[in-house]
Structure 1
Amino acid sequence: MASHRRPKQPNRARVSVLTAMAAAAVALTSQAAHADPKPTVKDVKAKVDDLYKQVDKATDKYDGAKDQESKLQKDVGNLQDKVARGQADLNAMRDALGSMATAQYRTGGIDPSVQLFLSADPDTYLDKASTMDQVSSQQADQLRAIQSKQRELAQERLEAQGKMKDLADTRKELGEKKKQVQSKLADANKLLNSLTAQQRAQMQQEDQERANRSSERVALGKGVPASQRAAVAFAAAQTRLGDLYVYGSTGPNTFDCSGLMMWSYAQAGVSLPRTSQAQGTVGPHLSMSQLQIGDLVIMDGGSHVGMWAGNGQVLHAPHTGTVVKYEAVSDMTFDYGVRVG
C-alpha cells in the first residue's frame, strides 16, 4: 500500500533568504535600467561653457575689487605722505615757539602765556590765555597756527585710518572673489576630467576647427574702423592673437577679457576702466547692425567683453584654457556694442 506522506515544508529561514535575494536582484536590475547614462561630450561642453560664463562674472567682480584695492593703496600712500609732511610742519612750528621761549628766558624768563601753551592742552589754550591778557599779537598768530595744524593733522590721520580699513575690507573681498573664480574653474576641470582622453581630444578639435573657420572669415572681411583710435586699438589686439587667457591679467602677454580691451586701447592713448561692466559705460550703446571695427562688444549680461572685428566676428580673450582669438558673435550672447569716445 502506497505511503501518503505530507511533503516536507521548506525551512522558514531559507525562504526569507531566498526572498531577500530575489528582491535585491530586482532592485539591482531596476537601478541598472534607470542609471544615468554617462554624459556625452555635448553635455559636458554645455555645462563647462555655463561654468565659464559664471567664471566671467566672478572674474569681473574680482577685477573690480583688485582695481579698488590699487586705488585705495594709492590713496593710503598719499595720505600717509601728507600726514608725515604735516607732522614735520607742526614740529617746525613748535620748534619756532620753543625758540621764542628760549629767547624770553634769556631776557628775564618765559612769558606766562607761552609757558601756559607748552604745558597745557593747546585746544583750550587760547581761551585761557585771552583771559590772562598776556598774549602778544605775534604770539597769538603762532599759537593759532599751531592749533589749526594740530586739528588738520588729526583729521588727516583719521582719514588715513578710514582708508586703511577700506583697504583691509577690499583685500578680504578680493580673496573671496578669487576663491569663487577658482571654485568655478575647479568644477569645470572636474567635468572635463570626466571625459576620456579621446573625448577631450574631440572637443579640442571641434573648438579648433570653429576658431579656424572664424579666422578665415575675418581675413576675408573688409570693415571700416569706428575711428582712428579704434583702428589702432584693433591692430594692437590682433598682435595678441594666441596669447593665453589668465584671469585678472592686463597684459602684455596674458589677458582676461577686459584686460585685453584695456591694454589694446591704451596703445591708442585711451584709458579704459578695468571691468567689462564699467567698459560698457564709456560710450553710446549700439545695436549689432551699427557696429564698426574696434567697437567694444558687451556680452553675457555685461560679464564679458570683446572687440568687433567685422564680418560677424569678435576678437576676445574667452576664458581659462583658451587664448586670444576670433569667434563668431552668433556663438555668444550679444548685449550691445559700445563706441569708445
Structure 2
Amino acid sequence: MSSPHGRGWRAAARLLAPAGALIIGLLATGSPAHAAPSAAELRKQISEKSDQLEKVVEQYNKLNAQLKQTRAEAAALQVELGPLEVKADQAKGNVARIAATAYRTGSFSGWNALLDSSGDGKLLARLSSLDQLATSQRSQIDEARRAAGDRFEVKAALDARLQEQTTRFTVVETQRKGIERDLAALKELRRKAGLLDEKSSTYTGSIPKYKGKAGIAVSFAYKQLGKPYVWGADGPGGYDCSGLTMAAWKAAGVGLYHQAATQWRETTHISRSQLLPGDLVFYSGLGHVAIYVGSGKVIHAPTTGEVVKVASVNMMSPYGYGRVRV
C-alpha cells in the first residue's frame, strides 16, 4: 500500500510535467519568434518618429538660422575692416615719415632756431612754425594710434565671429547627418507600412480673400498646397512647417524666424476664440506650426512623404495661438 506522501509526490510530478516540457522546448528552440508589427502599430511608430524628427528639424533650423546670421555679421565686419586697414596703413606711413625726418634733421631744431642770429621777427616766425609742425606731428601720431585701435577692435570682433561660425557649422553638420539617418529610418517604417509618398501637385482651387497683410500670407499659403514637405526648407519647391509659415508672412513683408518655438516668441499670444486668418497655430510642444486660414482650418507642411495640405485646426491638440505683429 503506498503512503500518502508517495501519492503526493506522484501528483506533483504530473502537474509539473507540462511545465518542464515547455522549459525544455524553449531551451531547444531559442527565443520565440516575434510577430510582425501590425499596420496600426507601424502607423503609431511612424507618427512618433515623425514627431521626434520634426522637433530635431526645428532645432536644426534654429542653429542654421544662427549660423546664417553669424556669417552675415562676419561678412559685414570684413567689409568694415577694409577701409580701416587702408586708413591705419596710411596713418602708419605718416608716422614713419615723421620719424624719418626727425632722424635726418636731429631733435634740436628748436634750440637751433633760438641760437640763430636773425632778428626777433624772424625768430618768432620760426618758433611759430616749429610749434605748428609739432602740433601737426602730434595730431598725425594720435590719428595713427586711433586708426590702429579701430582696426584691432574690428579685427578681433571678426576673428571671434569666424570662430563662432566654425563652431556652429560643426554642430549644424553633425545634426544634419543625424537627421538624415533618422529620415532614412522613418522612410523604412513607411515602406513597411505600405505608405507611398504623396505626389506633389499644383493648387488650382479657389482662395479666400482677406484684407491686409494677413490676407497676403493666407493667399500665399494656399498657393503652396500640394508642394512636398522638405525638412529645413522655406521654399519655393518645398517646405517644412516653420519654413512655410515664415515664407507666407515674408510674402506679406513681415520677417519671422525659421523655427516654430521662436515664432511663438515673435507673436502675440491669443485665445482660440480670437483666431483670425493669418494667425499661427502651434502644436506638439512648439515642435510644429501651421497658419490659420479661417473656417476652423489650417494649412501646414506635415512630415516627410507628405505634401502641404489643409487640415482641421484640431488635427492635433493645439499648444497655443499666435498673432503675427505687423
For the 8 Å contact 1:52–1:184, the answer to whether it is kept is no
Match of 1:171 among 162, 166, 169: 169
Equivalents in 2 of 1:176, 1:26: separation in Å?
44
Match of 1:306 among 277, 290, 299: 290
3-state DSSP of counterpart to 2:44: helix
Residue 160 of structure 1: CA displacement?
1.1
- TM-score, length-normalised on structure 2? 0.76
Structure 1 runs of 4+ aligned residues shifted over 6 Å read 20-23
Equivalents in 2 of 1:158, 1:30: separation in Å?
66
Structure 1 partner of 2:221: 237
The residue type equivalent to 2:77 in the other structure is L
For the 8 Å contact 1:101–1:111, the answer to whether it is kept is no
Equivalents in 2 of 1:234, 1:22: separation in Å?
65
Aligned length: 279
3-state DSSP of counterpart to 1:109: helix
Residue 96 of structure 1: CA displacement?
3.0
Q: Structure 1's 311 and 144: CA in aligned 2 closer, same or farther, altered over 3 A?
A: same
User: Percentage identity across aligned positions?
Assistant: 23
Match of 1:250 among 205, 222, 234: 234
Any residues of structure 2 matched to 1:169-248 within 5 Å, and which? Answer: 169-195=167-193, 199-200=194-195, 225=210, 228-248=212-232
Equivalents in 1 of 2:158, 2:140: separation in Å?
27
Match of 1:43 among 27, 41, 44: 41
Residues 202-239 of structure 1, C-alpha deviations (whole Å, 9 max, x = no match)? xx7xx99xxxxxx9xx98x98x95x6211110001100
3-state DSSP of counterpart to 1:143: helix
Structure 2 partner of 1:58: 56
Structure 2 partner of 1:333: 317
Structure 2 partner of 1:318: 302
Structure 1 partner of 2:128: none
Residue 166 of structure 1: CA displacement?
0.5
3-state DSSP of counterpart to 2:181: helix
Name stretches of at least 5 consecutive residues in structure 1 with no aligned partner: 1-19, 114-132, 209-214
Structure 2 partner of 1:149: 147
Residues 253-290 of structure 1, C-alpha deviations (whole Å, 9 max, x = no match)? 21111111111111111111221111112222123232
Name stretches of at least 5 consecutive residues in structure 2 with no aligned partner: 1-19, 109-130
The residue type equivalent to 2:295 in the other structure is N
Q: Structure 1's 86 and 26: CA in aligned 2 closer, same or farther, altered over 3 A?
A: closer
Equivalents in 2 of 1:249, 1:25: separation in Å?
55
Q: Structure 1's 265 and 315: CA in aligned 2 closer, same or farther, altered over 3 A?
A: same
For the 8 Å contact 1:59–1:247, the answer to whether it is kept is yes
3-state DSSP of counterpart to 2:266: coil
The residue type equivalent to 1:338 in the other structure is G
Residue 65 of structure 1: CA displacement?
0.9
Residue 190 of structure 1: CA displacement?
2.6
Q: Structure 1's 187 and 151: CA in aligned 2 closer, same or farther, altered over 3 A?
A: same
Please, what is the CA RMSD of the aligned residues? 3.1
Residues 11-66 of structure 1, C-alpha deviations (whole Å, 9 max, x = no match)? xxxxxxxxx9996545567954xx43211111111111111111111111111111
The residue type equivalent to 1:325 in the other structure is K
Residues 77-133 of structure 1, C-alpha deviations (whole Å, 9 max, x = no match)? 11122222211001112333445566x47xx924549xxxxxxxxxxxxxxxxxxx9
The residue type equivalent to 2:177 in the other structure is K
